[in-house]
Chains A and B, each alone.
Chain A
Amino acid sequence: MKKIASVAAASALALGVSAGAQASETLDSVKSKGFVQCGVSTGLPGFSNPDDKGNWQGMDVDVCRAVAAAVLGDASKVKYIPLTAKERFTALQSGEIDVLSRNTTWTQTRDTQLGLNFAGVNYYDGQGFMVSKNLGVKSALELDGAAVCIQSGTTTELNLSDYFREHKMSFTPVVFDTSDQTVKGFEAGRCDVLTSDQSQLYALRIKLADPGSAMVLPEVISKEPLGPVVRQGDDLWFNIVKWSLNAMITGEELGVTSGNIDSMKDSSNPNIRRFVGLEGPKGQGLELPDDWAYQIVKQVGSYGEVFERNVGEGSPLKISRGVNALWNKGGFLYAPPMR
């Protein structure tokens, strides 16, 4: 199936039927289609996962919804395309999707050699290890000789090799296509350790039959800045996705939420007046309606709301803000000023 998808994408490139690279072509096609095509994961709780009614939910899904709210004024106008780690870049390169929002790590190779642009970071992550509690392991440094389940086509695979090489330990990689399969392999005992980004480990842990039987080790062995990705060469679309994300972060900074934004519209605070599109640059440079940022917060929420709802205290994952707090609250999140 993966093979077919890759071959199809490669032939799409060869036939030249895919979207071209002229400025704003993506925006035009999104407007004429009436929806944003968004590449998401095949199911990762907290980031992109369908709920029991089949509606996609999660941090990454909310980035797609924010883009749809800004461009089309309706956050529900998104078509979700589930992709495996292996398929994701080809799908974006060939124009099958408009934006890839699928817990994708920003690296130099991906940013420079694949014809892609990372529009920012919506979650700062790091790779960790999950082990079964009855192994009695307390640190990743005790993992010499372990069999490790891992998802193919990820930076995780590379970090893992680096980490074990650096610490002169040996390991057996057991590579699966999807994160679901890695969980199955872990549960069946094919491997001692499951490795992935820490946020994913918490998400995958609640998929276990008995989540209490496994624990996440304290070591974080890599930097994994995850963010939305667009095709290179369409600067306007790149800006739209980048500023949709910035608007969510700025929204939290200004204290606006989906609940209070209507009452804040009359605020005398110039920052808020610029945010809701009453003053300042409005939507001009982005070729969007003036109230684009208002629509994002109204329909999707500020970054803080999105975080709490999907992965924070309001979710089964209960991940603390940590480095994903705002810059003035001890985290890394920092959006350039909207003016």
Chain B
Amino acid sequence: MPSDLKPGVAPSSKPKFWNDPDKRALLFQVLMVLTVVGFIGYLVNNALTNLEQRGITTGFAFLGQTSGFDILLSLVEYDSTHTFGTTFVVGLLNTLLVSALGIILATLIGFVMGVARLSNNWLIGKVAAAYIEIFRNIPLLLQIFFWYFAVLRALPAPRQSIEFGSAFLNVRGLYLPSPVFESGFGLVTIAIGIAIAAVIVLTRWNKKRQDATGQRFPVLWTSLAILFGLPLLAFLVAGMPMSLDYPALQGFNFRGGMTIIPELLALLFALSIYTGAFIAEIVRSGIEAVNKGQTEAASALGLPKGKTLRLVVIPQAMRVIIPPLTSQYLNLAKNSSLATAIGYPDLVSVFMGTTLNQTGQAIEIIFMTMAVYLLISLSVSTLMNWYNKRMALVER
């Protein structure tokens, strides 16, 4: 009937769902998810079936078994009577230790070298450039071997140690006096806490006052005085409740004090110097990305050079620096797994190496190790993203 046909008006019935792009996209996404989940399920099921068929023990019960082996370096109490669960913690902490120290050291080296490369002083600039080009272009594993086998192995035997006062350096590591805390040291800890809180309050108060009145208070020096003075005062009041345990040569080796093992030193040097070279380039590019007009404007306002760098250039450079810096931090944490090459007892060496071999439970252990690295990387990344948001340009 002609009355049904109203030209220019779309047919009222809904289009077929395969003609609706939204629904079609949804369909394909659901199919994709099902395929991926199904594939993973198939893999897991297949692995479990195969393992059972071959009489290979599965499950995480091994974590409660006694480990029976010792570890070179442990931040928590550990000996061979502890469980495989503890070896996991020991390995994890050792990985975190070298990663955290490496990140701090690499950042320091990177910022100093990055700024130095831009220096107007010919020598400083060239030295920084040489450092960056050399260490950025040699594979990390070789650098680890270099530090371990070439540099640290040149050190003397324990009985011919190099002495620095009460510290000793030899092929077995660096031996330092270690502090022994006696009763009453709690007071000093409390004093440190109060000092930190006071400094935070002071900084905030100063910022408010400056915003309101324009007057400034010498925060830096006051803070330093509080940070060092208050704990020192508490230390003296409590009657100096701390003594030092000095390392001494006994039998084959030094006993007492604390030892920094050469494996840690070599790995730390290699990781931070290698990553530091990349960070230096990131810092340089960040600083160069700040428009020259900014510096000129700052000097036109009469700001001294130091303040120009600190208050004008760096805050703007940070926006460029932080995202690539994050990936360098992630690289450093992941590269720390090369520790196994020189026998530093990190997670890969202790847990995925010895523990895996003593228990034979490859799948569980590799899964746990991968999950840990994923977790470390995601945490670093979250933290840096948060910092990046804080530093981002606030549009007014």
CB <8 Å contact, A16 and B46? yes
Inter-subunit contact B353/A10 (CB<8 Å): no
Q: Which A residue's beta carbon lies closest to that of B363?
A: A10
Q: A109 near B: Cβ within 8 Å?
A: yes
B356 cross-chain contacts in A, Cβ below 8 A? 6, 86, 153
Whether A146 sits at the interface, judged by CB under 8 Å, is yes
Q: Interface code B346-372, partner A: CB below 8 Å = 1, 0 otherwise?
A: 001100111011111011001000000
Residues of A near B340 (CB, < 8 A) are 2-3, 177
Q: In the docked arrangement, what's the CA distance between A189 and B172, Å?
A: 8
Are A115 and B56 also in contact (CB < 8 A) when A85-B357, A86-B356 are? yes
User: Interface stretch among A65-73, A156-164, A287-295, A301-309?
Assistant: A156-164
Task: Provide the bound-state CA to CA distance between A93 and B55, in Å.
Answer: 10
With an 8 Å Cβ cutoff, the count of chain A residues facing the other chain is 56
| Least Cβ–Cβ distance between A139 and chain B, in angstroms | 14
Mask of A159-177 contacts with B, CB within 8 angstroms, 1/0 = 0111011000001111111
Given contacts A152-B349, A189-B171, A233-B54, contact A147 B253 (CB under 8 A): yes
CB contacts under 8 Å to A, within B41-94, are 43-44, 46-47, 50-51, 53-57, 68-72, 79-81
15 additional contacts (CB under 8 A) given A14-B44, A174-B343: A6-B352, A109-B360, A113-B360, A145-B250, A147-B172, A152-B354, A153-B356, A153-B357, A154-B357, A157-B358, A158-B69, A173-B72, A174-B72, A176-B343, A177-B343
B107 close to chain A: CB less than 8 A: no
Residue count of chain B within 8 Å CB distance of chain A:
49
Shortest B248–chain A CB gap in Å is 12
List A contacts of B43 (CB < 8 A).
14-15
B32 within 8 A of A: no
Segment 2-34 of B: residues with Cβ below 8 Å from A: none
- A190: chain B residues at CB < 8 Å are 153, 171-172, 262
B358, A153: Cβ atoms closer than 8 Å: yes
Closest chain B residue to A156, Cβ basis: B69
* B304 interfacial by beta-carbon distance below 8 Å: no
* Nearest CB on B from A16, distance (A): 4
CB distance from A158 to the nearest CB of B (A): 4
Is B68 in contact with A158, judged by CB distance below 8 angstroms?
yes
Bound-state CA distance A15–B341 (Å) is 29
Contact yes or no, A21 B366, CB < 8 A: no
Min Cβ gap A110→B in Å is 7
With known contacts A147-B252, A181-B343, A233-B55, A14–B47 Cβ distance under 8 A: yes
> A175 with B57: in contact, given A135-B252, A145-B252 (CB under 8 Å)?
no
* Residues from 86 to 127 in A contacting B, C-beta threshold 8 Å: 86, 89-90, 93, 109-110, 112-115
Compute how far the CA of A189 lies from the CA of B252 in the bound complex, rounded to whole angstroms. Answer: 11
State how many angstroms separate the Cβ of A173 from the closest Cβ of chain B. Answer: 5
Which B-chain residue is minimally distant from A142 (CB atoms)?
B251
- A3: which of B56, B251, B352 is its contact (CB, 8 Å)? B352
